Amino acid sequence: MYSAICNAFQVLFFLIWALSCKESDATGSYKNKRALPAAVEAAPVGDDATAGDDANDEAVPAGAAGSLAEQAQAILSKNCARCHGATNPQGNFAIIDNVPAMLASGRYIVAGNPEASLIFTKLAPFGNMPPVGPLASGDVSIIKQWIQSLQSNQVVALRDTQILDVIQKDIQSSVAAADQNQVRYFSLHVPNNVGVAEADLEIMRKAFFKVINSLSRSPVIVKPVPVDAKKLVYRLKLDEMGIPIAVFESVMADFYPGPSKPATSSRT
């Protein structure tokens, strides 16, 4: 039982990430579930968005079908995904087709600021990408305008001490003393702090609920309880999941090794 639960917890956070970014299509392959945050709005493309003579591929012309975002992502997919997509990652960069992940990185896309966004500054003539030759000037312009059109989320970062205060208040006011040893808390404050959009946080919540119920040995559905107004911190009871405390603590010790606890004398 320990091995099964250990393996399940090992994939817990990977599954939350994966389910928040992708969905399976009818053929069993994967595609982006949300290519863009809700704040993105289409903007008109200027006259300089026509194909240049130096293009290594046919540029996406101004007025082409689709929003500015769709045009920009089509350019990136056509010219960059072969080396920086999930199937063929190079240079430790494999998220060119995952806009929320690039935004969350704070490096690859900085909303509203193309000059601070690596996917723009790495393009020729500023950088040396793509290696087969520079994009058409119109394509570069579309990517620049798209990044400029993105709106950064107003993030209220939560410190670890604030999360601990929320947990302490909840366990003191909402959990019976006899049940406190069974209670554990899970938090989504880290993705919140890096600017993950609310729609993506909601997908993470649903993924978290699904994974918790896949781990549960209970015949009834386990419903994590939100304990804060933003629904970033959730309470669970191990006995409601059918997981012994000792097993859970052993798994957590494997994943989050900390300082050795001083030995306690046994009672006689």
Structure confidence by residue, pLDDT tens digits, 35-68: 333 333 333 333 333 333 333 334 444 444 468 8
pLDDT confidence tier of residue 255, bands split at 50, 70 and 90: confident
Task: State pLDDT tens for residues 151-184.
Answer: 765 566 788 899 999 999 999 999 999 999 999 9
- The one-letter amino acid at 142: I
Whether 25 shows a pLDDT value over 90: the answer reads no
Mean pLDDT of the chain: 74
The secondary structure of 97-149 as a DSSP string is T-HHHHHHHTSS--TT-GGG-HHHHTBTTTS-BSTT-PPPHHHHHHHHHHHHH
- Torsion, Cα of 4, 239, 186, 20 (10° steps): 50
* Spatial distance between the Cα atoms of 32 and 25, rounded to a whole number of angstroms: 10
- Residue 241 in 3-state DSSP? helix
- Measured CA to CA in angstroms, residue 98 lies from 23, 150, 168 at distances of 12, 15, 37
Coil, helix or strand at residue 222: coil
CB-count exposure of residue 94 (10 Å: 0-12, 13-18, 19+): middle
Q: Please say if the pLDDT value at position 18 is more than 70.
A: no
Q: pLDDT per residue over 132-146, tens digit each?
A: 889 999 999 999 999
What b/e string do you get for 12-24 counting C-beta neighbours within 10 Å, with b at 16 or more? beebbeebbbbee
Length of the chain: 268
Cα separation, 41 vs 68, whole angstroms:
8
Q: Who wins on pLDDT, 26 or 147?
A: 147
pLDDT at 61: 42
Domain ranges of the chain: 2-20+155-255, 40-149
Report d(CA 41, CA 61) in Å as an integer.
19
Query: Model-level pTM?
Result: 0.47
Mean pLDDT over residues 119-143, rounded? Answer: 91
